Amino acid sequence: MSDAEQDDAQVVIVGGGPVGMGLAVELGQRSIRCVVVERYTSPQPIPKGQNLTQRTMEHFHFWGAEQALRAARTIPREYGIGGLTAYGTLLGDYTYDWLQRELVRPFYFTDNERLPQYATEAVLRQRAAEIPYVSTFYGWSAEAINQDDDRAHVVIAKHKQMSAGSCGPGTS
Ligand SMILES: Cc1cc2nc3c(=O)[nH]c(=O)nc-3n(C[C@H](O)[C@H](O)[C@H](O)COP(=O)(O)OP(=O)(O)OC[C@H]3O[C@@H](n4cnc5c(N)ncnc54)[C@H](O)[C@@H]3O)c2cc1C
């Protein structure tokens, strides 16, 4: 990062997960200069964070990313995105319909959604790239944060990505 960029950043966000990227978009839209440091060059394909509530989707709407997010949905439109717990067998008599988000739909501005978190993160990265107030350092890791009376300094270093089959420290 050049000195000029360092001086410019009002906020440094360490971690470009949904929270970090959402914050960057929110700040960037308010003309607040921020830098995101995220150790992975691309979102990690881990199956998690599928369900996005109506409240979350309201944020995406105001972040200018609702349409892109809905387009990134992996489940075909004609399939439901609720949840059901079945006991014993999927066809058993004992079931618990726990994800009835449509019941609270009238209280919100927009619909809920379902897609893998890595797809959500990709949409957030795309949106952040459109905002001139947001700079991103993907593939960099924050190693230390030092603070004095005037400012905080975040020390970053290239992240060493582990390839499939390699071991981390302490593993055998
Ligand atoms: C199995 C599972 C299912 C889930 N299902 C749902 C769901 O249906 N709906 C839902 O809303 N939530 C769900 N969650 C929770 C959701 O995944 C988390 O709430 C969400 O990931 C939190 O986002 P985050 O940005 O705070 O953190 P993270 O997603 O953990 O992001 C943190 C980021 O920081 C980066 N990072 C960390 N340290 C550094 C560093 N020193 N330098 C640079 N980068 C760094 C990491 O690489 C990562 O990308 C689920 C979680 C799991 C595990």
Q: List, for residues 98-136, the tens digit of each pLDDT value.
A: 778 888 889 999 999 999 999 999 999 999 999 999 999
pLDDT of residue 136: 97
Question: How far is ligand 1, taken at its centre, from the CA of residue 18, in Å?
Answer: 7
Q: Please answer whether residues 29 and 6 qualify as being in contact, where contact means their C-beta atoms are separated by less than 8 angstroms.
A: no
Q: Please answer whether residues 125 and 117 qualify as being in contact, where contact means their C-beta atoms are separated by less than 8 angstroms.
A: no
pLDDT of residue 7: 56
In a domain, 13, yes or no: yes
> Residue 64: is its pLDDT beyond 90?
yes
Q: Which residues have a Cβ under 8 Å from the Cβ of 156 and sit 6 or more positions away?
A: 1, 37, 137, 140, 141, 142, 143
* Ligand 1 in reach of 53 Cβ (< 6 A): no
CATH of the domain at 20: 3.50.50.60
In a domain, 63, yes or no: no
Question: How far is ligand 1, taken at its centre, from the CA of residue 47, in Å?
Answer: 11
In a domain, 74, yes or no: no
pTM of the model: 0.87
Closest ligand 1 atom to Cα of 114: 8
In a domain, 85, yes or no: no
In a domain, 166, yes or no: no
In a domain, 62, yes or no: no
% residues pLDDT > 70 (the chain):
89
Range of the domain at 129: 3-49+116-158
pLDDT of residue 161: 72
In a domain, 22, yes or no: yes
In a domain, 12, yes or no: yes
Rg of the chain (C-alpha set): 20
| Number of domains, the chain | 1
